Structure 1
Amino acid sequence: MPKAKQTSLRADFAVDAGEGGGAVLRPKGNWIVTHIEGLGERLRQALKPYETLTVDASQLEALDTAGAYVLRNALNERLQGEIFTGQENFARLYGIVGSHAVPISQYARENPEPTKLWLHPFYFGLVKLGKLATRFKTGFMAQSVFMGHIIAQLMMSVAKPGSLRWAALVNVMQRAGIEAIPIVLMTSIFIGGVLGFIGVLQLNQFGSGIFAIDMVAMFALREFAPLVTAVLLAGRSASAFAAEVGAMKMNQEIDAMRVMGIDPYEALIIPRLIALVFMSTFITFLSTLGMLFGGMLAIWSTLGAGPSTFLQRVQDYVPFYNFFVGIVRPPFFAATIAIVGCWQGMQVKDDVLSLGRQVTTAVVQSIFLVFMLDALFAILFNGFTM
């Protein structure tokens, strides 16, 4: 037995022009969501020339909320009389859609289009500036609260040393400090060697190659050793702190700690901050020795000035305050790195993309702040002449 042929009436319409700028709209077919693709724009263009509209829905087969909204939006308050005479279901559906729809005229009044194109870049810049200021204000307030909590917790740790998590502190000192020594030493030796080769290459032109020892020693003691150590710690520790704290935040472990009455600042942030501050000075000292050793090897291989000459000249011509100028910086650098890393970790949301974004931000921000602090220290110690 052959199957009955199934017909699918697409949504369509006809417009008959009337008198006095009016027209009659005759919707046809199935005005449902699967059949109205592109219908709205065609309907608006067809009805645009007419001031008043009447509707004859006798040929309308089916209607859903999507079709009713298209019809409601196209009529645009120009309807005259009733639409669905004797079609109560269609009339009720149209009324429900109309009660929740926003008239186009009202939308145009609430959202006027800019009239002057040359104002668009200026307006766009103001909007961006306003959003940036709002975001800066919100971030500044949140970071102020974060810093206040850290300072209060540090004061409590000083008042009650027993409250400090010593096991976590020693663990972080090993991971962020002891395990960072090999990479810091190797990098410092290479940089010291580069400084020695460049110093000899330039100063030999004036017959003063021996002064390369003074240059390497002063740069290593005063600037490069603290800065190189801080940058390497920022790459290792800031990213590690942000990833560790962020993973706990993402897995709701920090919320669980608060429920159990454990302060996350006391358990997570303070041990990392204190451990990195303590270890940074020791690592910077080793970095200084490594940089001097690399410079000594470079100068020895090019000038023939052996270790005894190098050490004697450093002792005679490089004042001790250069070492002091360099060694006072690491605790400030380390505190900045630890705070930025933990802060970015606390900002992680519930997805892995947020974790990766905050880890990257932690490294970039910490390195930027380290360079900024180094510039401030250079200005502060400008009176300590070489």
Structure 2
Amino acid sequence: MPKGQMPKADFALKTSDGAEAARLLVLTGDWTATGLRDVAERLKKALTRAQDVQVDVADIGRFDTAGAYALKYALGDRASPEIFAGHENYRRIYELIDGISPEVQTQISESGRSASPLVNFLSGIGQKTLSFLDDARRFTRFLGETVTFIFLTILNPGRIRWTPLVAQMQRTGLEALIVVGVANFFVGAVVAFLGILQLKQFGVSVFAVELIGIAVLREFGPVIAAVLMAGRSASSFTAEVGAMKMNQEIDAMRVMGINPFDALVLPRLFAMIITMPLATFFGMMAGLFGGFIVVWTTLGYGPNFFIQRMTDYVPFVNYFVGLIKVPFFAAAIALIGCRMGMEVKEDVISLGKQVTSSVVQAIFAIITIDAIFAIMFNGFDF
């Protein structure tokens, strides 16, 4: 062996005279991620007909969780923490993965045999599909529980927890007005700039007012407000509920007879549904104001002209179409944020993943809902 090179993981089987089954398995070398090679596959094949195997780990050099997974994979039911009697450090490492059943497709050995790219591609599609279906099942269950508790709350309004509801209304609604207003102001200004730039080519730049009104009231106002609320509130809900899940506060609530849906989910859901129309209206007005500023400074049309043009040529139905979507946006944001918080495991990495996933799913849900309403209103000729 070259100087400085560590011994690779290996094993030896010692059998009784005339016996087919292996009686003693001696493990040698470094059972680590860099030392395994194909030892797990070879050991599994060697133990195919072996019975009553005793394991000797005295000659193991180094040992980590990769080696523990390899042993679990090769030994199967024969593997247990007892085989590390007298080696406390090895036993503790093995207990980290004991009880975890590795997936069939997981390759813990470095046998050098890899599936073809086509098989890997199809396998990835299958895994993503199963993950999506499982996620849809959990969301459906969560949604069903939420609807049940909403129905119970309607029958018994005394279940409403007013203090957290009001606190969430302030945090999700009132404190979001500034960011929603500023964002919509600039969106309205950008729409006005682009509209005027294009309409000037045809000598009808005056129609920029109608473009601003319809675009802001019907689409940009509600969608921009919803996306900002998704990034702001969905992540907040996931982080708050997830932190409580990590600290076992939700389990403590259940022990005390407090239902987490009553105390955590419904106040956030109701707060979003109540306050988001206000934030959206504020954003709409800010967007119109941004467009008006651009029209005034670029075309010279004053406030009276802008207001008169909006009143005469922008139907009120556009305002209705914009606001009718908002409660659905709010419900999607709150439900996704709370559900992803409930999905957090007992580690910080899981919390970070769920926070990211909640924002992505909320924005995707907003775009999907907006598209559904656009198709529906187009069918109604609105």
Query: Normalized against structure 2, the TM-score is what?
Result: 0.72
Aligned residues: 304
Aligned match of 1:157: 153
- The match for 1:313 among 309, 316, 320 is 309
Q: For each residue in 1:132-153, what CA deviation from the matched residue of structure 2 results, as whole angstroms up to 9, or x when unmatched?
A: 3332332222212111110000
C-alpha distance in structure 2 between counterparts of 1:205 and 1:226, whole Å: 30
Q: Equivalences for 1:202-281 in 2 at 5 Å?
A: 202-281=198-277
1:37 is displaced (CA, Å) by 2.0
Residue of structure 1 in register with 2:143 after alignment: 147
Question: What RMSD over aligned residues (CA atoms) do the two structures have, in Å?
Answer: 3.4
Q: Per-residue displacement from partner, 1:167-189 (whole Å, max 9, x unpaired)? A: 11100000000000001111111
Q: Does 1:178 align with 2:174?
A: yes
- The C-alpha deviation readout for 1:241-269, integer Å capped at 9, x for no partner, is 00000000010000000111110011000
Q: Is 2:25–2:54's contact at 8 Å kept on the other side of the alignment?
A: no
Q: How far apart are residue 298 of structure 1 and its match?
A: 0.4
1:264-318 Cα distance to aligned partner (Å, 9 max, x none): 0110000000110111111111111111111011000011100100000010011
Matched residues in 2 for 1:348 and 1:229: separation?
27
Partner residue in 2 for 1:196: 192
Deviation of 1:324 after TM superposition, in Å, equals: 0.8
Matched, 1:379 2:375: yes
Q: Is the 8 A contact 1:36 1:67 kept in 2?
A: no
5+ long unaligned stretches in structure 1: 1-9, 11-34, 44-53, 55-62, 78-93, 104-110, 112-116
Residue 382 of structure 1 aligns to a residue whose secondary structure is helix
The code of the aligned residue for 1:330 comes to: V
User: 1:383 Cα shift?
Assistant: 4.0
Is the Cα contact below 8 Å between 1:185 and 1:287 reproduced in 2? yes
Given the superposition, is the C-alpha separation of residues 118 and 194 from structure 1 closer, same or farther in structure 2, using an over 3 Å criterion?
Answer: same
* Counterpart position of 2:27: 66
1:96 equivalent in alignment to 2:54? yes
Counterpart CA distance in 2 for 1:367 and 1:190 is: 20
SS of 2:54 mapped into structure 1:
helix
Does residue 121 in structure 1 map to residue 117 in structure 2? Answer: yes
User: What is the rounded CA distance, in whole Å, between the counterparts of 1:260 and 1:328 in structure 2?
Assistant: 39
> Percent sequence identity over matched residues?
45
| Cα distance, 1:67–1:212 mapped onto 2, change above 3 Å | closer
Question: CA–CA distance in 1 between the matches of 2:348 and 2:172?
Answer: 24
Report what 1:298 is aligned to. Answer: 294
The aligned amino acid for 1:96 is Q
What is residue 95 of structure 2 aligned with on the other side?
none
Q: Is the 8 A contact 2:184 2:224 kept in 1?
A: yes
TM-score, normalised by the number of residues in structure 1: 0.72
Alpha-carbon distance in structure 2 between the residues aligned to 1:294 and 1:364: 28
- d(CA) in 1 for partners of 2:336, 2:116: 37
**In structure 1, how many angstroms separate the alpha carbons of the residues matched to 2:25 and 2:330?**
65
Which residue is equivalent to 2:341? 345
- Partners of 1:164 and 1:241 lie apart in 2 by 18
Q: Is the 8 A contact 1:154 1:270 kept in 2?
A: yes
Residue pair 2:10, 2:27 contacting (<8 A) in 1 also: no
User: Which structure: larger Rg?
Assistant: 1
Q: CA deviation at 1:129?
A: 3.3
C-alpha distance in structure 2 between counterparts of 1:64 and 1:194, whole Å: 74
